[in-house]
Copies of this chain bind each other. A is one copy, B any other.
Amino acid sequence: MKLHPSPVMPEGFQCASVNCGLKDKGTDLSLFMSEITAHAAAVFTLNRFPGAPVIVGREIMKKGKLRAIVVNSKVSNVGTGELGILNARKMGLAVAKEFDIDPGEVLMSSTGVIGKPLPIERIEKGISGIGSFFSKDPLVGARGIMTTDTHPKALSLSVGNATLTMVAKGAGMIEPNMATMLVYIFTDAAIQAKALDMCLREAVDSSFNMLSVDTDTSTSDTCVIMANGLKGPVDDGEFSKALSFACIEMTKKIARDGEGATKLLTSRVKNAFSREEARFIAKSIINSPLIKTMAYGADPNIGRVLMALGKCFHCHIEPADIEVMINGTLVYKNQNRVDFDEQKVRNLLSGELVDIEVNVNAGSFEAVAYGCDLTQGYIEENAAYYSS
């Protein structure tokens, strides 16, 4: 499967972004729109403090239909009580009025600082006339939702005659530095809401749900897919595969652009006792601060990998069975360090990818997790951040 060299919004989809006065510079309000009502599905954060847009969004998604998604950056509308719910509804309503569409088919997202009221008047003003900025370039919409991202993120690929396009912001599953993960997926393929929902959950499970920048889970994470059907039906299996592929590619983009990140860190767990254990072990590796700093330092530190495996207390891990590879080189087997060319591995680790593979030899399940290194940049970005 191959990504298009330049992403483009699928047939019948457009996007726009404007500055409505939330950020000092750059756009801070984006709109994604289909010319006809699309089937839609979404997954939201599991955080027990969901933002107002997530609470209202869950309600809207029950019908499985969307015309538009409106997103602001800078203020997240989280921890804002009843006023927050009201403001989230007002945001959707403003779009419905502007384009004379059903307010029940407008989803809203907000990302940014927590606990501050949403400046709803500015957003309403920004929505007025936003249609004159419509573009087929998904990067236009991607720019308005950026927070600590260093660049806008979008990708496209083909599924049969149809196009699948994804716009995202990330920098982590991390929130208060305004780094919520938001992913919007658009396709002109014809797919029913139920099938869409299944495909989305499957794709998210092996991509965004296996991504971690710092173990922190945002109160606003949202991933939505809209399918307007303008290019007709496509093969279900092919669509599902394309969606999973695209989600993994976007996951890597987000990990690479994690706060302060200089490297993509992947962990591959093979032959685990169960699917859950494979995922748990892969996450334990990707989330370990000592593995993350080791990636940054480009050191093949076997001890840290064993430690991260060993702290999966409830998993089937037998030291005698474990094999560890770092960037393709076997470094640990038979309860002992393997005699390997350290300088060669250090050179590989100095590149942009650090890959840790663990053969657990306890079963037949595997998992891949995605993350990034932990650097001074992360500390600087997050220690310097003021919440008000």
Chain A interface residues (CB < 8 Å from chain B): 46-50, 76, 78-82, 113-116, 174-177, 214-219, 287-290, 293-294, 296-297, 299-304, 306-313, 315, 317, 319, 332, 334-337, 342, 374-376, 378-380, 382-388
Q: Is the CB of A218 within 8 A of B78?
A: no
- Looking at the assembled complex, report how far the CB atom of A290 sits from the nearest CB atom of chain B, in whole angstroms: 5
In the complex formed, the residue of B with least CB distance to A215 is B289
A383 and B79 contact, Cβ closer than 8 Å, known pairs A115-B337, A215-B215, A307-B49: no
Contacts of A297 in B (CB 8 A): 382-386
Q: Is the CB of B219 within 8 A of A310?
A: yes
7 tightest A-B contacts by CB? A114-B303, A49-B310, A297-B383, A293-B382, A47-B310, A81-B335, A301-B387
Instruction: Report which of B304, B313, B342 forms a contact with A46, defined as CB distance below 8 A.
Output: B313
Instruction: Report which of B174, B312, B335, B375 forms a contact with A379, defined as CB distance below 8 A.
Output: B375
Q: Is the CB of B219 within 8 A of A378?
A: no
Main secondary structure of the interface of A (DSSP, over half): loop
Q: Is the CB of A310 within 8 A of B48?
A: yes
Contacts of A301 in B (CB 8 A): 176, 385, 387
Q: How many copies does the complex hold?
A: 2
Contacts of A216 in B (CB 8 A): 288-290, 304, 307-308, 311
Give complex CA distance A303, B287 in Å.
21
Q: Is the CB of B81 within 8 A of A293?
A: no
Contacts of A382 in B (CB 8 A): 289-290, 293-294, 297
Contacts of A48 in B (CB 8 A): 309-313, 315, 317, 319
In the complex formed, the residue of B with least CB distance to A304 is B176
Give complex CA distance A354, B216 in Å.
19
In the complex formed, the residue of B with least CB distance to A298 is B383
Counting chain B CB atoms within 10 Å of each CB, which of A79, A342, A378, A385 scores highest?
A79
Instruction: Report which of B47, B114, B383 forms a contact with A293, defined as CB distance below 8 A.
Output: B383
A319 and B385 contact, Cβ closer than 8 Å, known pairs A115-B337, A215-B215, A307-B217: no
Q: Is the CB of B379 within 8 A of A306?
A: no
- Looking at the assembled complex, report how far the CB atom of A333 sits from the nearest CB atom of chain B, in whole angstroms: 11
Could you show 10 A-B contacts with beta carbons less than 8 Å apart? A76-B303, A78-B303, A81-B335, A82-B335, A115-B302, A177-B290, A218-B307, A299-B387, A374-B379, A376-B380
A303 and B79 contact, Cβ closer than 8 Å, known pairs A290-B177, A379-B296: yes
In the complex formed, the residue of B with least CB distance to A387 is B301
Give complex CA distance A296, B385 in Å.
11
Q: Is the CB of B387 within 8 A of A303?
A: yes
Give complex CA distance A237, B353 in Å.
56
In the complex formed, the residue of B with least CB distance to A115 is B337
Give complex CA distance A336, B80 in Å.
6
Contacts of A215 in B (CB 8 A): 215, 287-289
In the complex formed, the residue of B with least CB distance to A336 is B81
Counting chain B CB atoms within 10 Å of each CB, which of A49, A80, A384 scores highest?
A49
Give complex CA distance A200, B308 in Å.
27
Contacts of A114 in B (CB 8 A): 302-304, 306-307
Q: Is the CB of A217 within 8 A of B49?
A: no
Give complex CA distance A380, B337 in Å.
26
